[in-house]
């Protein structure tokens, strides 16, 4: 160290020197050796018998690079044809369309991997690696992106195929969005990690910084994250599915048309679309009118008959009205019950099942009209509240 350097060193406080050393170490931790520098030359990938012939061609770098590029272009076509033909002979024996879709998605990545890798070796053979290191990193990145795109497409195709398979009960149509999101996140995270390594960036340093940013974002978007996690649990637990008719604690009643990661959409009887955040649904009470062993729903019609009416006749008449209605199910059969003695009437209840929960209001309307007309024809009085007023005369008036 020179006298001037020593003088400058003594003028810098020890704390600042330690901070500079820490910054240098942190910079060294963030940036690592790129993968491109570890690929090597063509001679590292050739058999020993071919190396003497290649060394003669390597005396002309540009010519050698061109030969390597053309060779790997032809090789990429041959490898793709051989691999796809071999796999195609195996998949032709199956009845599933999944394997055919997989072969279609693998065409691009297989060709790109072989050809782009050949271009990297061609750049090294032409002696351009030192000045075109970014180009090698770019070619490697294109290979990774090609496989990422194929993996994303393959995941969706595979999940759809498993959902249609009745023997595979783990994945169903309602859980496809959940599995699809998780798989795609893993693919993107792994692909991003490889891309960072290609460009010589250590992901550990970025993850430490992302942790602090993630805490800040978590506080700022806590409502959005609550809806997101609630969407996960709704898809996993499945209290309802698309097409179900549900009632919510908040008063909404309608048919579910879409279940997303942030919200659920439904169409009410007024043909109005209502969007409800998943966090509200997850923390509330849900009445699924389409749940149970089947989609049917039971409706209850309360009827009063005047005292002195034939109770057996009233029950038979109510059951006949329900049986003759075209929207009432024959199984389970409709039934009528006498429920008690009211203040001014005998209280009956008609129990009937319908196929579509959203038609409950219409069916009750038609049953009420039918009961009113039938009771009038049978001379059965439907009582109403009556009050008798007695006026007592006061003495001396």
Q: Please name the residues in contact with 296: beta carbons below 8 A apart, sequence gap of 6 or more.
A: 329, 332, 353, 354, 355
Query: Exposed, middle or buried by CB within 10 Å (0-12, 13-18, 19+), for 220?
Result: exposed
Question: Of 194 and 125, which is predicted with more confidence?
Answer: 194
Confidence of residue 19 (pLDDT cuts 50, 70, 90): very low
SS3 of 137, please? helix
The predicted pLDDT at position 260 comes to 78
SS3 of 45, please? coil
| Cα–Cα dist 196/278, whole Å | 35
Question: Of 205 and 327, which is predicted with more confidence?
Answer: 327
Share of the chain above pLDDT 70, in %: 73
Q: How crowded is the C-beta side of 175, counted as CA atoms within 13 Å?
A: 16
Q: Please name the residues in contact with 307: beta carbons below 8 A apart, sequence gap of 6 or more.
A: 344, 345, 346, 383
Confidence of residue 26 (pLDDT cuts 50, 70, 90): very low
Strands 335-341 and 297-305, by their bridges, are unpaired
What is the maximal distance between C-alpha atoms in the chain?
Answer: 144
Confidence of residue 91 (pLDDT cuts 50, 70, 90): low
Q: Is the pLDDT of residue 52 over 80?
A: no
Stretch 41-69: mean pLDDT:
71
Strands 286-288 and 273-277, by their bridges, are unpaired
**Closest of 254, 244, 268 to residue 173, by C-alpha:** 244
The predicted pLDDT at position 339 comes to 94
Contact 298, 364 (CB under 8 A): no
Q: Is the pLDDT of residue 369 over 80?
A: yes
The predicted pLDDT at position 35 comes to 53
Structure tokens at 154: 């393959």
Confidence of residue 61 (pLDDT cuts 50, 70, 90): confident
Question: Of 91 and 151, which is predicted with more confidence?
Answer: 151
Query: Exposed, middle or buried by CB within 10 Å (0-12, 13-18, 19+), for 91?
Result: middle
- How distant, in Å, are the alpha carbons of 42, 64, 119, 123 from that of 67? 11, 5, 10, 11
Confidence of residue 21 (pLDDT cuts 50, 70, 90): very low
How many residues are recorded in the chain?
Answer: 397
User: Same fold for the domain at 227-288 and the one at 297-377?
Assistant: no
The predicted pLDDT at position 90 comes to 72
Q: What letter does residue 344 receive in the DSSP assignment?
A: S
| Cα–Cα dist 72/80, whole Å | 12
- Matching residue, tokens 């024959």: 330
Q: In the chain, count of helices (H) and strands (E)?
A: 12, 8
List beta partners, residue 353. 298
Stretch 229-235: mean pLDDT:
76
Stretch 70-84: mean pLDDT:
88
- Matching residue, tokens 């579509």: 356
| Cα–Cα dist 226/206, whole Å | 26
| Cα–Cα dist 36/117, whole Å | 11
**DSSP states of 266-284:** EEETTS-EEEEEHHHHHTS
In this prediction the pTM is 0.52
Assigned CATH topology for domain 297-377:
Alpha-Beta Plaits (3.30.70)
Strand ordering across the sheet containing 263-268: 273-277, 263-268, 253-259, 245-248, 286-288
SS3 of 259, please? strand
Structure tokens at 3: 């006298």
Q: Is the pLDDT of residue 304 over 90?
A: yes
348 — phi, psi (to 5°)? Answer: -120, 165
Q: Is the pLDDT of residue 340 over 80?
A: yes
Confidence of residue 258 (pLDDT cuts 50, 70, 90): confident
Q: Which CATH class is domain 227-288?
A: mainly beta
The predicted pLDDT at position 338 comes to 95
Question: What are the domain boundaries of the chain?
Answer: 42-199, 227-288, 297-377
Please tell me the least confidently modeled range out of 132-136, 180-184, 282-286: 132-136
Phi-psi region of 238 (alpha: psi -120 to 50; beta: other; left: phi over 0): left
């Amino acid at each position: 160290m020179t006298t001037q350097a020593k003088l400058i060193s003594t003028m810098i406080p020890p704390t600042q020197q330690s901070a500079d050393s820490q910054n240098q170490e942190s910079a060294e931790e963030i940036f690592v050796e790129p993968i491109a520098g570890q690929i090597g030359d063509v001679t590292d990938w050739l058999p020993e018998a071919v190396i003497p012939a290649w060394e003669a061609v390597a005396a002309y770098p540009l010519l050698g690079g061109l030969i390597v590029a053309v060779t790997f272009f032809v090789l990429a076509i041959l490898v793709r044809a051989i691999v796809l033909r071999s796999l195609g002979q195996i998949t032709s024996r199956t009845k599933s369309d999944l394997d055919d879709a997989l072969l279609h998605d693998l065409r691009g990545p297989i060709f790109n991997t072989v050809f782009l890798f050949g271009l990297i070796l061609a750049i090294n053979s032409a002696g351009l690696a030192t000045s075109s290191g970014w180009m090698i990193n770019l070619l490697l990145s294109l290979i990774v992106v090609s496989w990422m795109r194929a993996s994303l497409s393959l995941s969706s195709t595979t999940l759809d195929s498993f959902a249609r398979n009745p023997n595979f009960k783990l994945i169903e149509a309602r859980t496809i969005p959940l599995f699809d999101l998780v798989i795609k996140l893993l693919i993107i995270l792994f692909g991003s990690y490889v891309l960072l390594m290609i460009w010589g960036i250590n992901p550990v340093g970025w993850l430490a910084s992302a942790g602090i940013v993630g805490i800040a974002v978590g506080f700022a978007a806590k409502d959005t994250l609550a809806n997101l996690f609630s969407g996960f649990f709704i898809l996993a637990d499945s209290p309802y599915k698309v097409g179900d008719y549900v009632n919510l604690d908040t008063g909404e009643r309608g048919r579910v048309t879409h279940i997303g990661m942030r919200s659920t959409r439904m169409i009410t009887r007024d043909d109005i679309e209502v969007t409800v955040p998943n966090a509200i649904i997850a923390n509330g009470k849900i009445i699924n009118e389409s749940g149970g062993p089947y989609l049917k729903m039971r409706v209850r019609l309360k009827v009063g008959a005047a005292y002195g009416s034939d109770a057996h006749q009233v029950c038979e008449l109510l059951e006949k009205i329900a049986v003759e209605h075209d929207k009432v199910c024959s199984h389970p059969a409709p039934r009528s019950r006498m429920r008690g003695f009211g203040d001014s009437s005998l209280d009956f209840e008609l129990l009937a099942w319908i196929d579509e929960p959203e038609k409950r209001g219409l069916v009750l309307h038609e049953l009420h009209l039918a009961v009113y007309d039938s009771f009038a024809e049978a001379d059965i009085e439907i009582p109403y509240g009556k009050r008798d007023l007695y006026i007592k005369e006061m003495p001396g008036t």
